[in-house]
Chains A and B, each alone.
Chain A
Amino acid sequence: MKNYYSLLAALLLGFSGWAQELPEELSKAIDLSRKFPYESVVATTAQTTYRFDKKEGLTATEEQEEVLISLREDYSFSKFASTNNESEIVEAKYFHGKKLSTQRSWGTETCASNLSSTIFDTDQKICEYELPLEDVSTIKKYTITKKYADVKYLTRAWVLEEHPVEEKVLRFEVPEWLEVQFVELNFEQYQVEKNVTEAESGMRIHEYRFKDLPAAYDEGASPGATYYEPHIALVFKSYTNNGAKETLFASINDQYQWYRELVSQVQVDTEPLKPLVAELTAGKTDDAAKIRAIFYWVQDNIRYIAFERGIMGFRPEAPQTVCAKRFGDCKGMANLTKEMLKLAGYDARLAWIGTNHLSPDYNYHFPSLANDNHMICALKIDGKFQFLDATETWVAYGDCAARIQGRSVMIEDGEDYLIETIKEQAASANRREDKMLIQLVDGQLVGAVKSKSFGEEKRYLMQQYDQIRSENKKEAMLQLLENKSVDISVTEHKVKGLENRDEATSFKYKFTVNEPLLKSGREVFINLNFDRDYEAFFIGEEREQAIDLGYNAEIISELTFEVPPNHQLNHVPEGFSYSNAWMFIQVEYEVVGSTLVYTKHITIEKRIIEPEDFEAWNEAMRGLKNMYNQYIIIKNVV
């Protein structure tokens, strides 16, 4: 033990006295360990090389090489590589020993289906390669070569790894017969050198050299990785084969034509749907009622279960099959909605879209399968498009879920296509309106509340409520209403609209405050902030990634406190306000006759709070929190 502490002390002092004796790799490992206390391994160099071939169609290989240094003893490094029907790992090997000259083939320990979601099945498999790193400062190298059977499915080249990388090179060896566009995304925060050289064969070598890359890490509540992780979108436009130019995705139209071809392969038989459509629209004369009936039927009766293996990731299931099975993925549900609406006499079409999980860079600015991850139905009525997404069970006809608002959508239009943008709704569409009356009755605070929720606020409630088992719904509703910053008991309540998409959800309830009054002599201290919206929502200094709030929102609340007879208001807190281009907060107290009216208005127009917004956000939340802490004082004057 004594020996241990002397070594520890020496290390803490930077190995003074014997630092010069340390092998270089050990010294490096010690430095890196202190620099990255959470990490077990760092790549000193990494290179991913892309090569292309046209012998068996246009294929690509991705060769990844990393030299790793271990910061831990007895550490088992895991390299994860994904494959699917269109790609496979063709070689994996690692190197060890002096000068990393001893080569070993590297078998997978495990290879398994991606089970991250039980209702979403794809052909993706995650393979894990394990590499034992025996000691601190052990250095090993590995290479993994992956082959893409069709470059169409090679849509991005990612930069970051799951561990820090001191230097990384992305290298594209582009033959002269291949036309490819590199779209650089999220490079701003990184040190990168770009270099293009031409080899004698006419091959162009595109190299991106990155320095000091952090580990890829999701800090939680972050937007999708395409918002912030550096990567290159790959657009393969054309290649020359036997003297003839083969067009790939040179334009959005090329992408559309490929989708169109897939859709045309679907064997549509609308006969089985006709009785259902007739039944749903019977007796309905106006368009809205008919559309609603069909849209809501699909929402309610087709469960979202996706089997997206191979081409089924892009080609919709036949509508009659989806209807018969009562389940389908987004494409199947969109196609069924479309065909049912067409049977009812409407101009309904398929539409491809990327949800807001994808950054706005993926909005059909360039052709790529990475532009979309979702399909909906576009309904043209009165010369305008309405967008129907039946996978959103609680969305009313006329509304769109936040995840597709503001996104570009590619709509089929015969041989051509249309690009439209789904309107982004203002925060007021997702608002909550509260009115509360607080009285002091027989020495106890009591309250009566009317509250309404709209848009995403309402849908969130409906979704949560729907996920509660019937036998627990009553208790859950009480817990929801009693979720205040003070201890209350709800004495009676009425709820409307939790099962109706077309109206706001409204709550009416009464409660008593369980906490005893806080008194000092004749003075009573009362905190009127029963709902402390956004309380403690401070963003830590260490946070680097943006925060995705899910949707923009508005809260309008008015609380009326009836000053009891024989009492006077002895202290009323100051109000608070804050506003900038995307946030508005106003909290005010106003004495109106024998009442104190406390109003709170919060509008957050942004869904994503960017790192540059953090300071403003925290300043606003600090002010809001200080406001929430304030007590009023009333005094018995008799």
Chain B
Amino acid sequence: MKGVITYLLLLCCCPLFGQEKIEALPTIDVSKIDTAALQQNEELRRKRSYEPNFGEFDTANASAVQLLNAQEFEYDYYVEEVSEKKTTKVQVLLKDALAVSKYSEFFFIEGSDESDTGSEVTFAASCSIISRDGSTRAIDLQDRGTNGSTVAVELPGEDVGVKYYKTAIHELKVGDILEYSYVVTSVGNPKQVYFSDLQYESIFEDEPVLYKEIKVVFITKEDQFFLRERGMNNVRGFIHSKEGTKEVYTWSAKNLPAKTEERFESNVGNRPWLKFQVWNPLNTPSERWPFGVGDVGNSKRAVVASSVTEAKGLTMSDVKDVMLSTILTREFVEHEVEVLVRSRKRYPNLMRATAMTKALVFHEVFQEYYFSEVAGPDQDYISDYVYVAVMARLLRRFQHEPYIMLYMDQELGKLSQLCFYGEMSWLIRPDQDVKFYLKPFTRNGRPFNALGELQGTKFFEVCPFLNFSVYNYDDVHDLVNRHSAQQASQNMYHSMKSLTLDLSNQNIAIRDSSYYTGKFASSERYTALPRYSYVPAPRVKGGKKKKLIAAATNALRGERYYYFRSLYYEAQWRESYEVVTYDTLTTWRNYDILNREMSLTETLEISDLLAPAGNHFIFSAGLLVGKYNKLSAQERERMFGISTDYPYTIKNEIRFAVPEGYKVENLEAFIFDVQTNAGHMVTKAEEVDGEVIISYDRAYNFTNLPRTDWPEVMKIMDAAYAFTQQKLILKKV
């Protein structure tokens, strides 16, 4: 009977059946929230909070509906050993066969293991079905006999104490509610617990959610643990209340539609999400940072403050303190590397070299040292923090004052939304006269100027290190917005296509000279190099044979580099056209020079775009700028803001001589003039002295726009699609 009531309650809460929105969390009691605490938080909420409100939405046609999605993070510091528990509970109403199929297998973790910090971490799970008749049936996750339906699935690299399982859920039917929960408990020494893991919670799930709740609970004697949290993109933060010895922070939302994919979106940057971290500043004396060179995964996880008071009022400026004080701890690393540099005597004139040259030498030596002495075989990169810290110390030792850049990946939000130490990214430039922003090395990467990547990103620049051992606020300069005024014209792809039409074979010969600037150039360098880098191997110390091997290695690298680069660009063309022949005239050398521009010249023959019509020909010239997907009806609706990685411009210039004995018609169809706040799409077409010239200029001049500007963006997109559909008529005269 109890099951029947539960089921009916759930159904009543579901708009599909009861025509009412769910009003109370069915399984988590929220009635005890301290109303006084709520009021106290009201002002804060008004300032920075928005209730995610998508109104009522239709769940009638949904494949599945999550009636409940609740997560509770409980930190119990009353006990001898600190206990952390994360409970996830989900109830899903399965409304079609696809949903039944999707949820017919349940994956879970079971067992316990010791974490890196010495805590004992235990995993548990449960699963049950609430049927249409209200009966509840627990799924036996221990049913592991020969005929059982649960099997252990061993995953690579996992420790023996923890096993991964999957079970097939039997007798699952349309109309059932699947309820499952995961519990992860961590018990450890409180002195080793400074911070919880960073939690990033997307607000939306694969299915619509009627009620979602995230709750953080502390049980502590002392006022020493805090929640640092931030709601992103119009999501309000947590509401604080007190329940006896418990500090309770709750976030909840109702009627969340399923997450959808939209064009011009970033993963999280323009979507509602939450981030939070439990933090104990008293337990984090800066002199005891547990970081080392090899400690890549943990090196950026904390915020430093000297007292509870400061901790509560931590501001952006404290981040600078973090950086300087933690850099000091890098001395032993720097020492190791410096010894290596000096002992090799490979650079006799190094002291007289410029800061840039020194930086490149240090980069190379450090890279070699790191991957031979520190990194494991599977590790192909270094922590950006460790890299910057070591490089800064080395440059200081060689009488240069490096600048350190501090920024946040656009995927994580804006710099002003920085919340945790671990969200920061680091770069360094050798000194004030050098505009080369060294990016941390990868295993085979060569020094790379990240300036292009920084464009459009706000960052701090910290300089100079006048007195490295004594921190002084006056030495820190906040250069936010330095590079934020990025223009679409600075990130450009410009293709100039010179065509020769072969009407008898219906082929088109193309000589395409393309030119990349800004972000286009930097990203092209990476994406065009899928397998091999053009990185000369480190200089080799050793006998003749060793040197010969190194020389051969370098030469083969170069050969493969050219080979795969050509294949890559040929493949790009083949994605859109039937390519008869392809060749590249590019030497590729400009790919390897760390400049901000790049050019490429290709010659090819394609056979797709000319079609006969009696004695005439139809030329699908619009497709020469590349195919463009038409916006679907679903895509015309939009839930979230509009994002680009950076403002950009795409230009094309297409030229061809009108074949003898023919005239060109329908040029006017290629003329577009769309100009909006979001950008423009301006094209021209004309015939001059027997030569057709079609110019194409499409630009998006924003990085982020509100959802309401979507019609402005769509005007450009619609024009871009329409252009690709246009055809010329080559009429026999």
Determine if A189 is an interface residue (Cβ-Cβ < 8 Å). Answer: no
| Also in contact, A469 and B96, with CB within 8 A (given A136-B553, A309-B151, A631-B618) | yes
Closest B residue to A23 by CB, please name it.
B545
Encoded as 1 (CB less than 8 Å from any B CB) or 0, chain A from 497 to 539 comes to 0000000000000000001101010000101000000001010
Cα separation A111 to B727 with both chains bound (whole Å): 57
When chains A and B are docked, how far (Å) is the Cα of A396 from the Cα of B372? 63
Which residues in A have their C-beta under 8 angstroms from that of B157?
Answer: 110
Chain B: CB-nearest residue to A311: B146
Interface readout for B490-508 with A: 1 if CB under 8 Å, 0 if not? 0000000000000000100
Judged by a CB distance under 8 angstroms, whether B339 is at the interface is: no
Does chain B have a CB within 8 A of A7?
Answer: yes
Find the B residue at minimum CB distance from A628.
B611
User: Contact: B731 with A518, CB < 8 Å?
Assistant: no
**Contacting B168 at CB < 8 Å: which of A33, A113, A307?**
A307
Neighbouring A residues of B548 by C-beta, 8 Å: 21-23, 26
Complex contact A136–B552 (CB within 8 A) = yes
A161-169, A324-332, A420-428 - the one binding chain B: A324-332
Check A470 against B98 for contact (C-beta < 8 Å).
yes
Contacts of B19 in A (CB 8 A): none
> CB distance B555 to A112 under 8 Å?
no
Given known A-B contacts A467-B98, A518-B727, A520-B729, A7 and B551 have beta carbons under 8 A apart: yes
Q: Is the CB of A536 within 8 A of B578?
A: yes
List residues of B (477-519) whose CB comes within 8 Å of A's CBs: 506
Q: Is the CB of A132 within 8 A of B612?
A: no
Q: Which residues of A contact B610 (CB under 8 A)?
A: 629
Question: Which chain A residues in 542-587 approach chain B with CB under 8 Å?
Answer: 570-571, 573
* A470 adjacent to B727 (CB under 8 Å): no
Query: With A11-B556, A469-B96, A527-B611 as given contacts, are A76 and B377 in contact (CB-CB < 8 Å)?
Result: yes
Residue A10 is within 8 A (CB to CB) of chain B in the complex: yes
The segment from B216-224, B628-636, B699-707 that touches chain A is: B628-636
Chain A residues, Cβ within 8 Å of B612: 573, 629-631
A125 within 8 Å of B (CB atoms): yes
Q: Which residues of B contact A125 (CB under 8 A)?
A: 154
For the complex, is A312 an interface residue (Cβ under 8 Å from B)? yes
Contact of B377 among A34, A132, A466, A487 (CB under 8 A): A132
A471 and B64 CA atoms in complex are apart in Å by: 9
- Which of chain B's residues have a CB closer than 8 A to the CB of A8? 554-555, 558-559
Which of the residues A26, A128, A312 comes within 8 Å of B549, measured between beta carbons? A26
CA distance A584 to B170 in the complex (A): 48
Produce 1/0 per residue, A374-412, CB < 8 A to B. 000000000000000000000000000000000000000
A135→B616 CA distance, assembly (Å): 60
Question: Known interface pairs A136-B553, A324-B171, A469-B98. Does A34 touch B166 (Cβ–Cβ under 8 Å)?
Answer: no
Which residues on the B side are within 8 Å of A474 (C-beta)? Answer: 61
Residue of B nearest to A125 (CB): B154
Q: B residues within 8 A CB of A479?
A: 632
Question: In the complex, how many angstroms separate the beta carbon of B440 from the nearest chain A beta carbon?
Answer: 19
In the complex, A282 has a CB within 8 A of chain B:
no
Q: Which residues of B contact A74 (CB under 8 A)?
A: 443-444
Residue of B nearest to A307 (CB): B151
Interface residues in B153-170 by Cβ distance below 8 A to A read 153-157, 166, 168, 170
Interface band, chain B? 35 or more
Asked whether, in the complex, the Cβ of A520 is within 8 Å of the Cβ of B154, the reply is no
Q: A254 at the A/B interface (Cβ < 8 Å)?
A: no
Contacting residues of chain B (176-233) with chain A, CB-CB under 8 angstroms: none
Q: Is the CB of B105 within 8 A of A312?
A: no
Q: Are B614 and A570 in contact (CB under 8 A)?
A: yes
Kindly state the separation between the CA atoms of A125 and B151 in the bound complex, as whole angstroms: 14
Interface string of A325-360 (1 = CB under 8 A from B): 111000000000000000000000000000000000
Residues of B within 8 A of A (CB): 61-63, 95-101, 104-105, 146-147, 149, 151, 153-157, 166, 168, 170-172, 258, 377, 443-444, 506, 536-537, 544-545, 548-549, 551-556, 558-560, 563-564, 578, 610-614, 616, 618, 630, 632-634, 665-666, 669, 725, 727, 729, 731
Point out residues on A near B: beta carbons under 8 Å.
1, 4, 7-8, 10-12, 21-23, 26, 29-30, 33-34, 37, 71-74, 76, 110-113, 115, 118-119, 121, 125, 128, 130, 132, 135-137, 303, 305, 307, 309-310, 312, 317-318, 321, 324-327, 466-471, 473-475, 478-479, 487, 515-516, 518, 520, 525, 527, 536, 538, 570-571, 573, 626, 629-633
25 A-B contact pairs sorted by A residue (CB < 8 Å): A8-B559, A26-B548, A26-B552, A110-B156, A113-B154, A118-B166, A135-B549, A307-B149, A325-B170, A326-B172, A327-B170, A466-B97, A469-B62, A469-B63, A470-B63, A471-B63, A518-B666, A520-B616, A527-B611, A571-B613, A630-B611, A631-B611, A632-B613, A633-B613, A633-B614
Using A321-B147, A474-B61 as known contacts, list a sample of 16 further A-B pairs with CB atoms less than 8 Å apart, ordered by residue number in A: A7-B554, A12-B555, A121-B166, A135-B549, A136-B552, A307-B168, A325-B168, A325-B171, A326-B171, A327-B168, A466-B97, A470-B63, A629-B612, A630-B612, A631-B611, A631-B614
10 closest residue pairs by CB, A with B = A631-B613, A11-B555, A571-B614, A325-B170, A469-B63, A110-B156, A629-B611, A112-B156, A7-B551, A305-B168
